[in-house]
Chains A and B, each alone.
Chain A
Amino acid sequence: MEEESDSRKINNSFLRDHNYATEADIISTVEFNSTGELLATGDKGGRVVVFQREQESKNQPHRRGEYNVYSTFQSHEPEFDYLKSLEIEEKINKIRWLPQQNAAYFLLSTNDKTVKLWKISERDKRPEGYNLKDEDGRIRDPSTITSLRVPVLQPMDLMVEAMPRRVFSNAHTYHINSISVNSDYETFMSTDDLRINLWNLEITNRSFNIVDIKPANMEELTEVITAAEFHPHQCNTFVYSSSKGSIRLCDMRASALCDNHSKFFEEPEDPSNRSFFSEIISSISDVKFSHSGRYLMTRDYLTVKVWDLNMESKPLETYQVHDYLRSKLCSLYENDCIFDKFECVWNGSDSVIMTGSYNNFFRMFDRNTKRDVTLEASRENSKPRAILKPRKVCVGGKRRKDEISVDSLDFSKKILHTAWHPYENIIAVAATNNLYIFQDKVN
């Protein structure tokens, strides 16, 4: 473990400029901002790379707003907790954008322990014509100054700078798995395995604990929090999901500590599908409100479920992501793949949902037409600007020409993180250390 981290640091400092597929480059989170103009990725090495969409130009209409690198900065560094003798990973677990209120962009990025608020701002002018110093910054000899002049702003090459504005630390004993910005734009919450804390964006030395499921005796622990999110419009409502496949909706107006839920969403177990792994595969890896705020989407190991907030007893819709893995759960348990945490996303109109799978496959489900498609994010199998060909996994029997059999799937190529543009059909798919951006085909 030690060697791994050492080589990772070496790779960071010496080999960062090269296109090495180092572990530090593994993308760990992807997120569009609220307008879709910016796309942020965080990686295992603690870096954040922000892409900006090009303005569409009439000269090149086919290059419909591509994303280019806008800013890169090191958000988190590896730390060492001296009290516990533990290294704190710098891997960025989540990025969440704040809504834009002025020319600068703000995002929250978090590793296992610390949330940071970053301000990304542009500078394209600089003042020139100072009296006391010359253009290089050297102090002018006062005796040479004969006249007074007013500095003027001159255009300069665009410079994008990222500055940490707030650091929210020392509030989590366990590993942070989610952050969510409240619709009031004043508060946000950070969630670890056992607790959820509420912060004010302006105040870093204090946070309020709103959910605590830590048992008095840790040996009685059977359930942990896996994800949490604020309602998109109701600033008093949030949900959190658990490792047992349940979702709790809480109202912060009810009490200061929201240990008692207002709603409890859980689907009764299907006895015919019961196995030793039933609980593990029911553990929810991601929970997302729909843009409308009426629905909830959860991802567990084999399925994506859409819930109606008004119906707690069972999900509205269940989509099988890769049911062919159900018979392979034992081997997936052995090679740890069963613990992979896939995310899921809504499109802008809440009509299509998307999630990742193995072999660099990702799946989209149209909620209205009930059609689904499997696509692959891989350089070998698709040329740039070519239309993605739907893929199919052959479950048994005869394998057709373009199908891939379950046993040939590459389980090391997993798509855990995806993002969908808030308005348009543009998706970002993270495949290990590569980021793919796909758009709807232009007619």
Chain B
Amino acid sequence: MVAKGQKRKLLEGRGGAWESQLQSVLDISMEKFHRDQALVEPSLLRSVLISNTLRQVQSEVRAQVESLSSVKMPSKPQTHSGLEPDFPSGSPSSTEHNAPLFSLNDENSNTEEDVMAWTSEEDFSLSSAISVILKDLDTVIDAGQGPPRAPLGSVENLTGDARHTQYPPSSSRTERASNVVPSVKSEAACLGCPQDVVLEKLLLDIDTSVFEPEVNLLQGFSVTADDLVKYLPSLSKSPSASSSSSSSSHGQATWEIQEIEHVMDILMRTYPQS
């Protein structure tokens, strides 16, 4: 708690700018990627540069994640769950993504108090942004050179069901960084949702505290579902004071959608192997 305010201000200054640029780069790259996929013959140079930029965003995010995770925190069982529609992804196995997204082996979920103790709000919005972005990156990079798949159906139904039936409302849920919200929301809006059956199955799995590690993801990431979910509580904990615009309720709804997207993404990828 030493000089909390001071530290927070410093990190906010740096982190806010970095995070907002991270987010805009991701947004723009995703948009370009999707637009190029719609073309019959996208320029190869362009595609390679855009996907390399996305990879770089991913590695920056990973670096941030690793630095955040360097502080060990007691774990807290995750009770919430969120599912998100899968992004369109092409053929599997991009073997160049060898490094794990998260090299965390410890508990990474933080209690609210601990969170406030060791890091600023900015860091939390960062980690929440990170989770979103990582999921975006997974799908994008995976789809980078593969054949494009048609996007899935609409997400409206999913939102309603998920929110009301699937997970217990958490009082500590707050909005994310607002700059994360709009981008992922737009992604969610344009992508489809899995069927409810799959949803429920996934949610049940997520609710358990012990997961079978799905090591070999199709892309070669060694991120596991439980790794990611351990991150999800950080979303709920982030008051995200630095975020500017969204109201809480709006943020909460979209944040739930995003969570759904996150977890769905991972699990859709792990499931083909199981």
Chain A residues in the interface with B (C-beta under 8 A): 1, 84-86, 174-175, 193-194, 217-224, 226, 243, 276-280, 283, 330, 333-334, 336, 339
Contacts and interface: CB of A to CB of B under 8 A. Distances in A.
A333 B56 contact: no
B95 interface: yes
A221 B48 contact: yes
Contacts of B39: 1
Contact of B146 (A1, A84, A219, A330): A219
B22 interface: yes
For chain B, what secondary structure do more than half of its interface residues adopt (helix, strand, loop), or is it mixed? helix
Contacts of B55: 222
B145 interface: yes
A85 B53 CA distance: 30
Contacts of B146: 219
A219 B53 contact: no
Interface residues of B, number: 32
Nearest to B54: A276
Contacts of A193: 44-45
A339 B51 CA distance: 14
B145 A279 contact: no
Nearest to B22: A276
20 contacts: A84-B41, A175-B43, A175-B44, A219-B90, A219-B93, A219-B96, A219-B144, A219-B145, A222-B51, A224-B44, A226-B45, A276-B22, A276-B25, A276-B53, A277-B53, A330-B25, A330-B28, A333-B28, A334-B24, A339-B49
B44 to A, nearest CB: 4
Contacts of B48: 221-224, 243
Contacts of B91: 219
B234 interface: no
A330 B90 CA distance: 27
Given A1-B39, A175-B43, A339-B45, 17 more contacts: A175-B44, A194-B44, A218-B145, A219-B145, A221-B44, A222-B48, A222-B55, A222-B96, A223-B48, A224-B45, A243-B48, A276-B21, A280-B49, A333-B25, A333-B53, A334-B24, A336-B32
B25 A243 contact: no
Contacts, number: 75
A217 B52 CA distance: 16
A278 B53 CA distance: 9
Contact of A280 (B53, B60, B142): B53
A-B complex: 7 closest residue pairs judged by Cβ atoms: A193-B44, A218-B145, A219-B94, A219-B145, A276-B25, A280-B49, A334-B28
B217 to A, nearest CB: 14
Interface of B: 21-22, 24-25, 28, 32, 39-41, 43-46, 48-49, 51-53, 55-57, 60, 90-91, 93-96, 142, 144-146
Contact of B49 (A86, A194, A220, A243): A243
Contact of A86 (B22, B40, B95): B40
A283 B44 CA distance: 13
A1 B41 CA distance: 12
B18 to A, nearest CB: 10
Nearest to A279: B52
Contacts of A1: 39
A6 B32 CA distance: 25
Contacts of B52: 222, 279-280
A174 B32 CA distance: 20
Contacts of A219: 90-91, 93-96, 142, 144-146
B22 A243 contact: no
Contacts of A280: 49, 52-53
B41 A86 contact: yes
Contacts of B96: 219-220, 222
